[in-house]
């Protein structure tokens, strides 16, 4: 629901890097978004395109890499990954002693620029 705030933060991060590096413009931006982050990729793309106009990212394409929720079970000792947004028990053995290792990511990873 707060995809506009997230899009705004992405634009601030890449615009700062663009100024620092003295680049002319940004052509693409890659971000990693975990499935458990509460961010809907379609809504983020829509928000990004809606607000990018007055920034160095005005021509940039946003590429979203989704990251599955993953964990490690201490009962069966195995690593797992699920399609959904959360894990209530280990999908391999049903154990409850697990730790979540991925799925909450919200990172800008890289961008392509014109010099």
Q: Which residues bind another protein (CB under 8 A)?
A: 1-2, 5-6, 9-10, 12-14, 17, 20-21, 23, 27, 31, 36-38, 85-86, 88-89, 96, 106-115
Give min distance, CB of 54 to another protein, in A: 19
Least distance between another protein and beta carbon 56 (Å) = 12
Give CA 70 to chain center in angstroms.
Answer: 15
Q: Would you give the distance in Å from CA 96 to the centre of its chain?
A: 27
Residue 55 Cβ vs another protein, minimum distance, rounded to whole Å = 15
Tell me the closest approach of the beta carbon of residue 61 to another protein, in angstroms. Answer: 13
Residue 115 · residue 24 · CB < 8 Å: yes
The string of DSSP letters for 18-81 reads HHHHT-SEEEEEEEEEEGGG---HHHHHHHHHHH-TTSTTTTPEEEEEEE-EEEEETTT--EEE
């Amino acid at each position: 629901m707060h995809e506009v705030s997230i899009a705004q933060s992405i634009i601030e991060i890449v615009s700062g890097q663009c100024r620092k590096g003295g680049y002319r413009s940004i052509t693409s931006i890659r971000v990693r978004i975990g499935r458990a982050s509460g961010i809907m990729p379609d809504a983020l793309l829509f928000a990004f395109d809606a607000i990018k106009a007055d920034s160095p990212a005005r021509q940039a394409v946003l590429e979203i890499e989704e990251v599955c929720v993953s964990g490690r079970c201490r009962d069966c000792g195995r690593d797992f990954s699920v399609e959904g947004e959360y894990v209530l028990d280990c999908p391999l053995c049903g154990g409850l002693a697990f730790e979540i290792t991925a799925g909450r990511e919200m990172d800008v990873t890289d961008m392509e620029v014109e010099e």
